[in-house]
Structure 1
Amino acid sequence: MNDAILSNPKAPRVRRAAALARKKERQEQGRFLVEGPQSVRELLAHRPELAEVVYASMGNEPWQHEVDRLASEAGVRIERATDEVIAALGETVNPQGVVAIARVWEADLAEALQVARLVAILHEVRDPGNAGTVLRAADAAGADAVIFAGESIDPFHPKVVRSTTGSLFHLPVVVAPTLAAAVGAASTAGLTTLAADVRGDELPVAQAEGTLGGRVAWVFGNEARGLSEADRALTDRSLKLPIYGAAESLNLATAASVLLYATAFAQRA
């Protein structure tokens, strides 16, 4: 641990770290920001080899002892910083006192799918909150990988990282150049590819047929446009959640969570 307190929010290293909020800087530096005690704990506990430095406030917060211990065990440098520096590093309105810098990594697509039973593929998903929530739901449902395909948001965007609350560090995350590449790799690995689409068959039909009990890769499309006809044609089948009430539809993150859990239940039945 560095005993000196970092107090200048305009210091070059602070400005260089804060610039990681921009995709171009993340690509050039090969690093990204991890904000908040929960996400930093999960980084240090599950992927400590990625962590480069932890900037932590000087207050006696409940999380500090555990973060200090995990960083020490992993050999990760901790630097004490003022609240002003922590605020300059992060994007949140109410900073939580700790920000880490980690190295960007990318799992291999074929390797991630080789023995996977449940996978989520995001295609042109642009909202960071939605993307992070789907990744978190996939983790909770026991998925083996999440693939960001085509023009989907960068999985290392600060808001995506925060929304996952640490799930980003629990399972392989892959960036695929196109939906065709992601679906093709899933099919090659032996997974049934299912498009989540309102024009598909109703989910209970597929459940009764046993479709969800095998190895499944779900494809979730853009929040506003969903999946095009060409996108759906890449997959084995399209399925939709029935609406039993008066709601017009479900948002992406809610629908994805239900479908991932329905598949997890079927696979464990």
Structure 2
Amino acid sequence: MTANGRPQAPLMTNTHADRVKEVARLAGRPSRLRRREFLAEGPQAVREALRLHLTRHEAGQDGVVVDAYATAEALERHTDIAELSGHDGAPAVRLVTADVLAAMSSTVTPQGFVAVCRFVDVPLDDVLSASPRLVAVLVEVRDPGNAGTIIRAADSAGADAVILTGASVDPYNPKTVRSTVGSLFHLPLVLGAELDGLMEGLRDAGMTVLAADGYGSTSLDDLQDASAQRRFATVRTRRAGPGGDAPSRRPSGDAASPGPGDADGSNGSDAVGAADSTTVRLEDAGAWLFGNEAQGLPADVTAAADARVAVPIYGSAESLNVGTAATVCLYASARAQRLR
């Protein structure tokens, strides 16, 4: 019997069983799109999938996990996953041999767990209507690892959503799912967004649109410095009390500095999208645009943004990886918003 009193299914040992083949097919995009299901592999991803499943079940919504599989050894090491699967509304974890799990998995060395999950993306209107404060937008980001890293960084920074444009990588690609390390199940995900309508929608939702651009005319350092100056000025004014002298504030100048070229550079002129660090405020609701690994953001996209922001490079590196640049930018906004 399982922990919640359900009969224990027999151990799966046949690597050629139809069920095993059906699970394995989800490594391919056609099967994923047809079934609107994907693979979550490894203990962290399966754990977070089950947690989201139970949260939705308690709210009277459809669950996320369709089936879950694990080796006996893995289930013994991760007793918390066994406990999660024992809750009412959660699917029981089916025991399989290591060979069966390997046949299901898309990895050479699976970590003992595989779950079949339903797609978790949501409509763009659901995100915009929720008054988001921080959003990451992937514009034609093609590398699964980079996309997964940005989703994980957005989750870590407390972002409200991640939006992928139509030409971006499939976030349900097994490599992308693995690189999110469970963050895919933590925040809303929007797929196939059209840039024209998206930019308008973000602004209608009260968000400043920031293009991460290695050739941007505004330095992220300047935006952070200006945010800190406003914060300290506010604190000093409050301490001075009514009638006290308010400290003067000198705005930081714009800095045109090379940044993450391969991550988000463009060939537009520095005048396009230029913004003073007193008019673009990190503490305000913001949507960061991150571009293709090789070409960066298209010129028309950077031109339509409220600011083109460069991450300064102090050493000799030619550029920053888009995942690294996204992490720096998202955390800069997150910190400014938390301290506003």
Q: CA deviation at 1:62?
A: 5.0
TM-superposition CA deviations, 1:65-87 (whole Å, max 9, x none)? 21111012143132111111111
| Cα distance in 2 for residues equivalent to 1:26 and 1:16 | 11
Judged with a 3 Å threshold, the aligned counterparts in structure 2 of structure 1 residues 252 and 60 are, in CA distance, closer, same or farther, namely: closer
- Aligned residue in 1 for 2:48: 42
TM-superposition CA deviations, 1:126-181 (whole Å, max 9, x none)? 11111011100100001000001121111111111111111111110111332223
Structure 2 unaligned residues grouped into runs of 5+: 3-7, 55-62, 227-277
| Cα distance in 2 for residues equivalent to 1:109 and 1:158 | 23
| 2:223 corresponds to which of 189, 193, 206 | 206
| 1:242 corresponds to which of 293, 297, 312 | 312
On the 8 A contact 1:119/1:217 being kept in 2, the answer is yes
User: Any residues of structure 2 matched to 1:139-178 within 5 Å, and which?
Assistant: 139-178=155-194
After TM superposition, the structure 1 stretch with the greater mean CA deviation from structure 2, 231-240 or 145-154, is: 231-240
The answer to whether the aligner puts 1:86 opposite 2:101 as a matched pair is: yes
SS in 1 for 2:137: strand
Alignment RMSD, CA only?
Answer: 1.5
On the 8 A contact 1:149/1:182 being kept in 2, the answer is no
After TM superposition, the structure 1 stretch with the greater mean CA deviation from structure 2, 83-92 or 63-72, is: 63-72
TM-superposition CA deviations, 1:61-110 (whole Å, max 9, x none)? 55432111101214313211111111111122211011000111321212
TM-superposition CA deviations, 1:14-69 (whole Å, max 9, x none)? 11111111111101011100000011011111234101111111226554321111
- Aligned residue in 2 for 1:266: 336
TM-score, structure 2 length as denominator?
0.76
Give the share of equivalent positions with the same residue, in percent.
Answer: 46
Q: CA deviation at 1:8?
A: 1.2
TM-superposition CA deviations, 1:203-248 (whole Å, max 9, x none)? 1233322611100000000011101111212322211101111111
On the 8 A contact 1:109/1:176 being kept in 2, the answer is no
The answer to whether the aligner puts 1:17 opposite 2:23 as a matched pair is: yes
The answer to whether the aligner puts 1:128 opposite 2:144 as a matched pair is: yes
Q: Residue 30 of structure 2 aligns to which amino acid in structure 1?
A: K
- Aligned residue in 1 for 2:254: none
| Cα distance in 1 for residues equivalent to 2:74 and 2:289 | 44
On the 8 A contact 1:180/1:234 being kept in 2, the answer is no
On the 8 A contact 1:197/1:227 being kept in 2, the answer is yes
| Cα distance in 2 for residues equivalent to 1:61 and 1:177 | 39
| Cα distance in 1 for residues equivalent to 2:167 and 2:74 | 42
- Aligned residue in 1 for 2:322: 252
| Cα distance in 2 for residues equivalent to 1:24 and 1:120 | 27
SS in 2 for 1:198: coil
Q: Residue 111 of structure 1 aligns to which amino acid in structure 2?
A: D
Which has more radius of gyration? 2
- Aligned residue in 2 for 1:76: 91
Q: Residue 88 of structure 1 aligns to which amino acid in structure 2?
A: A
The answer to whether the aligner puts 1:56 opposite 2:57 as a matched pair is: no
After TM superposition, the structure 1 stretch with the greater mean CA deviation from structure 2, 2-11 or 58-67, is: 58-67
Judged with a 3 Å threshold, the aligned counterparts in structure 2 of structure 1 residues 106 and 268 are, in CA distance, closer, same or farther, namely: same
| 2:287 corresponds to which of 212, 217, 229 | 217
How many residues get paired?
Answer: 269
- Aligned residue in 2 for 1:104: 119
SS in 2 for 1:28: helix
| Cα distance in 2 for residues equivalent to 1:9 and 1:234 | 53
SS in 2 for 1:6: coil
Structure 1 unaligned residues grouped into runs of 5+: none
Judged with a 3 Å threshold, the aligned counterparts in structure 2 of structure 1 residues 256 and 60 are, in CA distance, closer, same or farther, namely: closer
After TM superposition, the structure 1 stretch with the greater mean CA deviation from structure 2, 169-178 or 134-143, is: 169-178
| Cα distance in 2 for residues equivalent to 1:23 and 1:187 | 33
| Cα distance in 1 for residues equivalent to 2:34 and 2:200 | 29
- Aligned residue in 2 for 1:231: 301
SS in 1 for 2:72: coil
